[in-house]
Amino acid sequence: MKQLRKWFVLMAILTALAAIQTNASQDSKSQLTLLGHTGGPSLAVAIQDNYAYLALGHELAIIDISDPQNPRRVGFALLPAYDLAVQGDFAYAVSRDALYIVDIADPHSPRAVSHLPVRFTALAIAVANQTAYIANERGGLLIVDISDPRTPRQIGAADAIGTAWDVALSGHYALVAGSYDGLTILDVANPSQPRLVVQIASPLRDAAVAVQGSLAFVASDSDGLRILDISQPEQPVEIAVLEGPGCACGLAVLGDRVYVSAESAGVWIADVSQPNSPRVVGSYQTVGMGMGLAVTDSSLYLTDGEGGLHLLDVSQPEQIREIGLYNSSGAAWDVTVDGSYAYLSAKWSGDFQIVDISEPGQPVALGSLNTPGQVWQIAMDGSLAYLADWNGWLHIVDVSDPVAPIPLGSLGLAGEGYGVAVRDGIAYIAAGKGGFLLADVRDPNHPIPLAQYPIAGEVHGVVVVGTIAYVAAGKAGLVLVDISNPAEPQQIGSVDTPGSAWRVDVAGNLAVVADWEGGMRIVDVSIPSAPRAVGAWDTTGSSRDVKLVGALALLADGENGVRLLDLSDPSAPVEVGSFDSPDAAYGVAVSEERIYVADRLGGLFILGR
């Protein structure tokens, strides 16, 4: 079940996991209540009965796989989950700095019952009887008594063995894969005093380990699959090395077959019926990166790192076929809501992702679309989505079928695509160093440039109200542009901001600016030719997006999550609520009393108030 070429591939994810709080589901000050969540990186999977337990970075998801062609999420717990093990009524998840224990007796309502802080980075876990064994990166192996899941306690450690990336159990022995520190075998008959049996150096990175009978299987990165005879644990003997079609980064074993996750090469299968002469008998290429895996009978469950869980029929390893897919939405960098759908800038699972939010508690990822670069913002107009692509494009997409979005026309930009607004057949584009651009999009298959208006700063966002475009222009602050003649836009006013103006929203005579390191700035725009700053909310985060709802402002404040501010007195805004999202709130949208937060690696959060 283990994956793990972890350090370099997922350092950003690990860093983000350190910030999550298990009580992030509700903030008592504002009663911002978590209604639903989707997204995050799919890292590891465990199978028990008819359920798959999926580690999604910031979520433990429970997937009903009784119908393998239609896997569906039936429950989730918001907590860090990088690797996990399941035993009976409990799931055991590890993340950067803790062990979390979750009651899964009711798969529809899992709940965390305890957590145990650990030093360094908890990368992998194995559970046997009433004991958990945690590969704790530089902290070696930790041994935890879980006889009472509500009060776990550390009872032993082997911290002198070097690095610990993965752990497997065989009788009263624990085998630890330790990257360049090689493979370590420990006698854990007395868990409070683990005894070093032997340590075997490795020329490369031992990323994962699995055991079956008297054989140990070690995933050694580009060195392939190593097979060792451990019938005499004090004198293990390497009997074979097998190079596959990709690296060897994670392992699962069943019978005479070893299943090897290979990151960008997906997964490959080795026949080890003759351990001295193993051979590759099949492989399967995923769209994402083959990472965590679990196997039962003729089915293989493979996480792809991008929010997905692939259900594969491996009964004929030379002809592996996908029989089902659970698709989460991956990362979320920005969100736009229209009706029953949320449209995401999602770096994984396709750069453009559509999510059905008709049931907030069970958002469902539908169609997706890859773009040449990265989508930074999305504007909706009817059944058309307009995507601002950082690589210098405006893409127009038909979303009338949300399961299968269809790309229509694209327009190359004289800069980066940071933001877009659309009205009456005209697209208003924040094009970074390329300035403020206008395009005729009445024919979505053939958008036509209308005007390029240079602005001193780097244009990041735009909102259109009446005949005025309000442009968030980086170091140039907020710029107001007359667009009554789209072919000849003219600046009519501006106001400097102390940070870098990233996004803007307008309601009545007020504009609010997400000013990055400058917090939120409040501007009176009743006289467009003479806008003036009237208030501010300084933060320690990086203010990335803002929306106005009546007298309230919702600020996506990066690592500080979402802040709800009362602007009844614009000169003295008052914080009336917050939601501490686990990673970094990059985007926020509001629709029908619900709040949608794009939380980067944390995925999409749906809140009520």
- Superfamily for the 413-608 domain: YVTN repeat-like/Quinoprotein amine dehydrogenase (2.130.10.10)
User: What is the pLDDT of the chain when averaged over all its residues?
Assistant: 91
Helix (H) or strand (E) holding 257: strand 257-261
Reading the block at residue 607, the tokens are: 């809140």
C-alpha to C-alpha distance for 202 and 397, rounded to whole angstroms:
50
* Residue with token string 């965390």: 112
* Residue with token string 């939120």: 520
C-alpha to C-alpha distance for 375 and 82, rounded to whole angstroms:
27
For residue 462, give Cα distances in angstroms to 120, 132, 339, 427, 472. 43, 52, 22, 10, 6
| Contact assessment for residue 269 and residue 261, using Cβ atoms and an 8 Å cutoff | no
The per-residue pLDDT for range 429-452, each reduced to its tens digit, is 999 999 999 999 999 999 999 999
pLDDT recorded at residue 572? 97
Q: By C-alpha distance, which of 427, 435, 480 is closest to 458? A: 435
Q: For residue 59, list its beta bridge partners.
A: 78
CATH T-level fold of 6-20+42-254: Methylamine Dehydrogenase; Chain H (2.130.10)
Helix (H, G, I), strand (E, B) or coil at 580: coil
Chain-centroid distance of CA 584 in Å reads: 11
Task: Map out the domains of the chain as residue ranges.
Answer: 6-20+42-254, 413-608
pLDDT recorded at residue 558? 94
Q: By C-alpha distance, which of 113, 86, 83, 111 is closest to 96? A: 83
For residue 103, give Cα distances in angstroms to 83, 118, 147, 434, 540. 16, 20, 14, 53, 36
Identical fold between 6-20+42-254 and 413-608: yes
What's the pTM value of the predicted model, to 2 decimals? 0.86
In the structure, what pLDDT confidence band is assigned to residue 349 with cuts at 50, 70 and 90?
A: low
The per-residue pLDDT for range 490-549, each reduced to its tens digit, is 999 999 999 999 999 999 999 999 999 999 999 999 999 999 999 999 998 899 999 999
- The rounded percent of the chain whose pLDDT value lies above 90 is 77
Highest mean pLDDT of the ranges 262-271, 297-306, 537-546? 537-546
The per-residue pLDDT for range 145-182, each reduced to its tens digit, is 999 999 999 999 998 888 999 999 999 999 999 887 88
| Contact assessment for residue 107 and residue 130, using Cβ atoms and an 8 Å cutoff | no
255 exposed, middle or buried (CB, 10 Å; 0-12, 13-18, 19+)?
exposed
Phi/psi-derived region of residue 548, left when phi > 0, alpha when psi is between -120 and 50, beta in every other case: beta
| Between 71 and 593, the higher pLDDT residue | 71
What radius of gyration do the chain's Cα atoms show?
26
* Residue with token string 């699962």: 252
